[in-house]
Amino acid sequence: MGTCCSELHHSSVDSSLKNLGETTISGEHDDPELGPPNFERVVLRIDGLKCGCCESGLSRIVERVPNIKNFQLNTVLARVELELDTNRLSVSKVIKMLETRTGYRFEEQMVSDGQVLEVIVTDPRRMQHAGRPDGVIRLKVPERAPWRPFAVLSGRTSTTLKETTTDDADGDCEIPKIRVPPTKIYYDATIIGARDVLRHYRQFDPDLRLAPMAADPGLDLGAKQTIRALKWFLLSLIFTIPVLVFAWTPVGRRSRGPPNSIYLPGLHTSLALATVVQIIALKEFFPGAMRSLYHSRVFEMDFLIAFSTTMAYSFSVASYIFQVRGKPLETGSFFETSTLLVTLILLGRAINEFARFRAAKSVSFRSLQVDEVTLIAHPEESNSWSNAPTTKIDTRLLQYGDFFTIPPHTMVATDGVVVYGGSNVDESMITGEFKPNAKGLDSEVFAGTNNGDRFLVARLTKLPHENSVQRIAALVEDAELTKPGAQALADQIAGWFVPVMASIGLTVFLIWLFVDKYHNKKDWRSAVLSAITYAIATLIVSCPCAIGLAVPMVVLIASGVAARYGIIFRDPQKLEIARNVTDVIFDKTGTITTGTLKVVNVPRYRHTDHAHTKGLLMGLLKDIKHPVSMGISSWLAQDRLVHKDFQPLEVTNIISVPGQGVQGTCAKTGVEIRAGNAEWLDINVMGPETNTMCYYTYGGDLRASFELMDHPRPGAEMVIQKLLARGVKVHMLSGDTAGAVTSIANRLYIPEGNTKACCKPEGKINYVRDLQTPGKVVMFVGDGTNDSVALKQAHVGVHLNQGSDIAKSAADVVLMTTRLHDILILLDISFAAYRRILLNFSWSALYNVAVILLAAGALVKVGDQIRIKPQWAGLGELVSVLPVVLIAFQMRWRDYGKNYRMIEAEYQKVEAPRRERRIRTRGSFSADGTGCCEIPTTRLAQVDAFTRRNDRSRLRKFLLGSAS
């Protein structure tokens, strides 16, 4: 009931192609005139959704819409996402069908592949004749819909507009009707910028302006529905209070006459007021219940509410008639029962709508997107970033090539790269990192993060519609639409709940009818009235919506809480599975170790022309992102700055072989060159390799070898110890040599039998498969390099994100940082979510059993007042659903990272002296190659930037400044 519109649904629609999970309409897909199917992703918002237990009926209705491939329904977020064949059915027609069959209003939530600009124009039609500059893809211009005299009664006014599309494509391009929509301009931001688009169209309409920034669609709809529910409750309350006054106070009694006589004018007034309240109830509950019954053959909770309130009102009217005729019933006036019942139900729905809205708002990421940004007006004309002229603009008008400022203590507008200044930036809202991160030249900054006390200037890298905030929000929302396994049980229970309750209500009526007639010796009229009060209370007080909310509300909160710690569940089913993990497999390089390999010994060359060897190696490895390649490239760049004895040479046909190495061709001589492991290069190694080794061959001849060392990530040992303490077995795989793997395993106390060296990608997947025996749940943790197949194969694949596109990750879970203790937080959140799901199910079962017994009068023999009377049964929705929401919401109040911050603290104690030594070492190749200067940690990013660009002059000036 009520705002427990909560069930997640992910369904493959039944069809003749069941194995493909597609819905087809006979003959349509084979129509050559319509062309091949063109399935597009469509997201619809549902306005007016009042009850979570209506999910089953809604699902059946959506299933019966033709040309839909599959769909996902979330009644908590009031959203349905589907794949529609737009060649055969337009979105507007789908919306019309759904609105007709459900009684709810549907509105398309635009999902743009590119950038869209919404503007308000004086004459929308004029824009159609303004032409489209290069880069503008299409326009969607609103036009006024035909006037309808009864629009006010239907909730739509004559100002309602519809949109038509002007583009190169044919076909029906209408979108759902909305109130006064702006004109939408779709454009390719890589060709034309937002400000250029506005400049073009303002030539034809000088008054053209940006439309107000739209709120988060889900939150905006939730706020509207909360206000709507509150209005209906207040309206009902206004009419109910006088009825209660007449029924419960002396105002309703005659001043003279028999003690129990009723003041007839008050009775007439109560009839009128109760009739208004009943009309409100029927408008709220009856249409949707009957549509669901007619179209999907499902009895929803709204049907029981409408039936029960109508029955209570009908018998109130019957009591009124007997009272007016001078033959009052022993139950007396009945109007307070029907009016109070409806009012309390509406109160429960209003409170539950607010609770659902607050739950969704608490996990919303889109609120991190700022509305305005300070833009550097003319960067090419400025001699200094600090004195450059600036202007404030709407963030939607940003375009590629822009430079924007980040003043102290402000939020970063969008993703960018720092070009001026240095500061500490709080990224906890994105990554969960509790310590600010130092940002300097060429450091990345992300939308939604908070700048510290220094001024920054950044070059834009991502527009607002594609930045970190939007990508994370999209991933979280997509995950919230997915249906966890435990939800199937809730669906089955909720699907049978209403028919079972109808049967129980009928049984209660019949039992009390015969008890009062034959045991209590009442006449038939009194027995019927008494039995009806028990039946009404039983039907109203029960609530399947608490069951429907038990899983999705927890998934909604848990997903949002995890995201606040930088843990993105792309598949919420893994939130349910993770608590059962028995084995965790770590990839070594870049996952359990830092992945920053350093050349630890002077390379051994087997050729006199060292410069030629180093030049070819730099040309071969410069664009390869593997940790070994990056380690050697970094060493070569530093060596070149110090000795200046070689230049990068051109290498062609470069191919990276996963798990083996890199090969290419010397452009000058045409000789094949390779860099990789000994096995791939067929090199006989003398003695054990205790560190990572990389060999270089020229035409098959060994020319050089490099020894590199990696270090475990901060706190890796403590994380592994905590996993072992939980009874979880820890494994480590690597394509590195056996000596390097054994060295790291020994330092982290990983059993040698749980490690595997020289492991190729296919070896990793085979290792995972071997562990996946019955009763075991395997988690694979990797950095996305050469292990995407293993991430997919594992029961739970976890990707340590290091700047790659998280949307393209093959993992089920993405960690936005490289902190290994986030894995422990992940497991803790999974356990906490599972416990709350169990608690919600237990509460739902206990509540329904208890209140059904009380409402049915099972305890009246103990005491006449130990029962739930019909007028108070309306509180059932509030009492049942609110605890479920609060139980889930408790996850927001717990600090899951508190227990693991000690890992960072302990690491800092050990690592700080070592870091300072490394800083001094890195400064030794500075101004003259002999001196040593201390470089603050916050400025190391600038040293790295100069080194990568081989900018010796700026590096020398920078280091001389640090030394002085």
Q: Express each pLDDT in 385-443 by its tens digit.
A: 777 888 899 998 999 989 999 999 898 999 999 998 888 888 876 666 667 788 888 88
Answer whether CATH 1.10.1740.10 is correct for domain 553-594+712-830: no
DSSP alpha helix (H) spans, 325-405: 335-362
Q: Residue 147 burial by CB count (10 A; 0-12/13-18/19+): exposed, middle or buried?
A: exposed
d(CA 545, CA 6): 8
Mean pLDDT of 844-861: 88
Task: Judge whether residue 521 has pLDDT over 90.
Answer: no
3-state secondary structure of 455: coil
Within 10 angstroms of residue 418's Cβ, the number of other Cβ atoms is 23
d(CA 194, CA 375): 14
Q: Residue 40 burial by CB count (10 A; 0-12/13-18/19+): exposed, middle or buried?
A: middle
Q: So what's the pLDDT on residue 228?
A: 85
d(CA 216, CA 224): 12
What CATH number belongs to 8-214? 3.30.70.100
Token duo for residue 332 = 């007396």
Token duo for residue 638 = 């530093």
Q: State the DSSP string of 78-136.
A: TEEEEEEETTTS-HHHHHHHHHHHHS-EEEEE---SSEEEEEE-S-HHHHHTS---TTE
Answer whether CATH 3.20.20.60 is correct for domain 598-709: no
d(CA 544, CA 87): 40
Tell how far CA 673 is from the center of its chain: 47
The model's confidence at residue 486, banded by pLDDT at 50, 70 and 90, is low
Q: Which stretch of 204-218, 552-566, 798-812 has the lowest confidence by average pLDDT?
A: 798-812
How big is the CA angle at 386 (ends 385 and 388), to the nearest 5 degrees? 60
Catalytic residues: 587
Q: So what's the pLDDT on residue 266?
A: 74
pTM for this model (two decimals): 0.66
Q: Which stretch of 153-162, 524-533, 650-659 has the lowest confidence by average pLDDT?
A: 153-162
The model's confidence at residue 803, banded by pLDDT at 50, 70 and 90, is very low
Q: So what's the pLDDT on residue 176?
A: 39
Task: Judge whether residue 786 has pLDDT over 80.
Answer: no
Task: Judge whether residue 930 has pLDDT over 50.
Answer: no
The model's confidence at residue 255, banded by pLDDT at 50, 70 and 90, is very low
Which residue, among 97, 72, 92, 91, has the nearest Cα to 82 in the 3D structure? 72
Q: So what's the pLDDT on residue 942?
A: 55
**Residue 423 contacts residue 454 (beta carbons within 8 Å):** yes
Mean pLDDT of 14-33: 39
Q: So what's the pLDDT on residue 51?
A: 54
Q: So what's the pLDDT on residue 778?
A: 95
Q: So what's the pLDDT on residue 239?
A: 92
Q: What is the mean pLDDT of the chain?
A: 76
Q: So what's the pLDDT on residue 459?
A: 92
Task: Judge whether residue 668 has pLDDT over 60.
Answer: yes
Q: So what's the pLDDT on residue 935?
A: 43
For residue 691, the 8-state DSSP code is S
pLDDT per residue over 46-89, tens digit each? 876 665 555 666 777 888 888 887 787 776 667 788 888 888 88
List Cβ neighbours of 286 (8 Å cut-off, separation of 6 or more): 302, 306
- Architecture of 370-466 per CATH? Distorted Sandwich (2.70)
The residue ranges of every structural domain in the chain are: 8-214, 222-362, 370-466, 553-594+712-830, 598-709, 924-963
Amino acid at 784: G
Task: Judge whether residue 334 has pLDDT over 80.
Answer: no
Within 10 angstroms of residue 327's Cβ, the number of other Cβ atoms is 8
Task: Judge whether residue 923 has pLDDT over 80.
Answer: no
Q: So what's the pLDDT on residue 170?
A: 37
Task: Judge whether residue 197 has pLDDT over 50.
Answer: yes
Tell how far CA 98 is from the center of its chain: 25
pLDDT per residue over 292-324, tens digit each? 677 666 666 777 778 888 888 888 888 788 777
pLDDT winner (highest mean) among 261-265, 493-497, 817-821, 945-949:
817-821
What sign for the dihedral angle of Cα 265, 268, 274, 280?
A: negative
Q: Which stretch of 271-280, 539-548, 733-742 has the lowest confidence by average pLDDT?
A: 539-548
Task: Judge whether residue 893 has pLDDT over 70.
Answer: yes
- Cα distance from N-terminal residue to C-terminal residue, the chain: 72
